[in-house]
Amino acid sequence: MGFNTDLLHAGVIKDSKGATLPPIYQSSAFDQETAEDLAGIFGGRKMGFCYTRVANPTVSAFEERITKLEGGLASVACASGMAAISMALLNILQAGDEIISSASLYGGSIDLFRDIEAFGIKTVYVKNNDWEAIEDAFTDKTKVVFAETIGNPCLDVTDIDKLAEISHSHGVPLLMDNTTATPYLIKAIEHGADIVVNSSSKYINGSSNSISGVLTDSGHFKWTKERYPVLGEYLKFGQFAYISKLRNGLYRNVGVCLSPFNAYLNLIGVETLGLRMKQQCENAYALAKWFEDNYSGIKVNYPGLASSKWHDIAEKELTGGYGGIITIRVGSKEKAFSIMNKLKIPYILSNIGDTKTLVVHPSSTISLHSTEKELEDSGVFEDLIRISVGIEDVEDLIEDFKQAIE
């Protein structure tokens, strides 16, 4: 099936009563016919639902949909994108381990990596697609490589095929944050990623009405007890080792479960992901080209422009567009604030992926806690405005930015 058909039909289990969407199972716990049944579910010997912190039918329906879209083995939905990243990493890491990460990251991810230093987990940052630096960063303590498919807000595009090749040559899995690109632009698993994370609060949801995140395991990586002792007894489950450990340990015990209602809202939103992304990519390209053609004093960054440093990689990997985010540098923080305040259509807020156009000043918000070096590596500057382009008529967006600038 094509992408939009998949969105509507792949992974859908039809309700016995004929409902076209899964019901919202807004229940904390689930009754069983016998005490033996409940004991079997708790012990992992019987399929079923016992407690929503562990699993829920509505949430499972959302997880199944994302698994199909990403082309993975199984998915686990969490209360936020940051929770999903945390679970994806901490499921395999312990004190003394190291992460190799692209330096051009979302500020929240940098903050998380700083926090887990307290648990003895170190992050080594390298410039994205700098293959020599990446090779040199590996040690016997390296346990995972992390990058974003399209950096936020740097907008650098990762050569996933090459990064996966290097990671696997060292016996280490590649974890990709696919939030900005979504499976519409790239299925990272097909390019070698082992685990894919999406902050589904963004494009997957599409309407900024629920916080959520989801991780998808490809099932391809060959885990070993020597390299990943924390997986221990779960290695007996073969390709399900990673997911089995997560569901029966950290995910269950930390309590980062997604609410059934938010899962339901995501199921509604994801049905139009393809249509929205197509329009957002088209609008983003048109707006970026307009900036480039009309304002020599404004520096525009968008992977779809031939002037982008990452255009060639984007051409090779991405399908259906170049993403819905552009950034502009306007000369000063004061001018950035002035332009943002004079816009009539976009909302000034820190989300991305909404149907409506959103603008934010990253250095004073999402990257507020980053060091000067981290800001530079992430492509965040005092005069930078990030624009998450919506599905409005692009002529109206152009006219609005024109009046604000002038």
pLDDT tens for 5-48 read: 988 887 677 777 888 888 999 999 999 999 999 999 988 889 99
**213 C-beta neighbours (distance < 10 Å), count:** 28
Burial (CB count <10 Å: 0-12, 13-18, 19+), residue 273: buried
Helix boundaries (H) for 177-310? 182-185, 241-248, 250-254, 260-270, 273-294
SS3 (DSSP) at 14: coil
Alpha-carbon distance 133 to 406, whole Å? 43
**215 C-beta neighbours (distance < 10 Å), count:** 32
Strand partners of residue 123 = 99
Alpha-carbon distance 245 to 274, whole Å? 33
SS3 (DSSP) at 55: coil
Q: Which one-letter DSSP state was computed for residue 225?
A: T
Instruction: Say what the pLDDT of residue 406 is.
Output: 94
Residues 290-318 have pLDDT tens digits of 999 999 999 999 999 999 999 999 999 99
Sign of CA dihedral 25, 31, 36, 37: negative
Name the percent of the chain lying above pLDDT 90: 90
Residue 200 pLDDT exceeds 90: yes
Instruction: Say what the pLDDT of residue 61 is.
Output: 94
Instruction: Say what the pLDDT of residue 7 is.
Output: 87
Q: Which of 78, 75, 53, 61 is nearest to 23 (CA)?
A: 61
The answer to which of 37-41, 85-89, 181-185 has the lowest mean pLDDT is 37-41
Instruction: Say what the pLDDT of residue 13 is.
Output: 72
The helix (H) or strand (E) run that includes residue 177 is strand 174-177
Domains of the chain: 3-269 (3.40.640.10), 273-405 (3.90.1150.10)
Single-letter amino acid, residue 152:
N
243 — pLDDT class (breaks 50, 70, 90)? very high
4 — pLDDT class (breaks 50, 70, 90)? very high
Mean pLDDT of 247-272: 96
Residues 225-241 have pLDDT tens digits of 999 999 999 999 999 99
**Residues composing the chain:** 406
Residue 23, both tokens: 């019901």
The answer to which of 99-103, 207-211, 329-333, 374-378 has the lowest mean pLDDT is 374-378
Instruction: Say what the pLDDT of residue 354 is.
Output: 97
Residues 386-400 have pLDDT tens digits of 999 999 999 999 999
Residues 89-140 have pLDDT tens digits of 999 999 999 999 999 999 899 999 999 999 999 999 999 999 999 999 999 9
Alpha-carbon distance 302 to 284, whole Å? 8
**235 C-beta neighbours (distance < 10 Å), count:** 16
Q: Which residue has the higher pLDDT, 369 or 209?
A: 209
Instruction: Say what the pLDDT of residue 43 is.
Output: 86
Residues 317-371 have pLDDT tens digits of 999 999 999 999 999 999 999 999 999 999 999 999 999 999 999 999 988 888 8
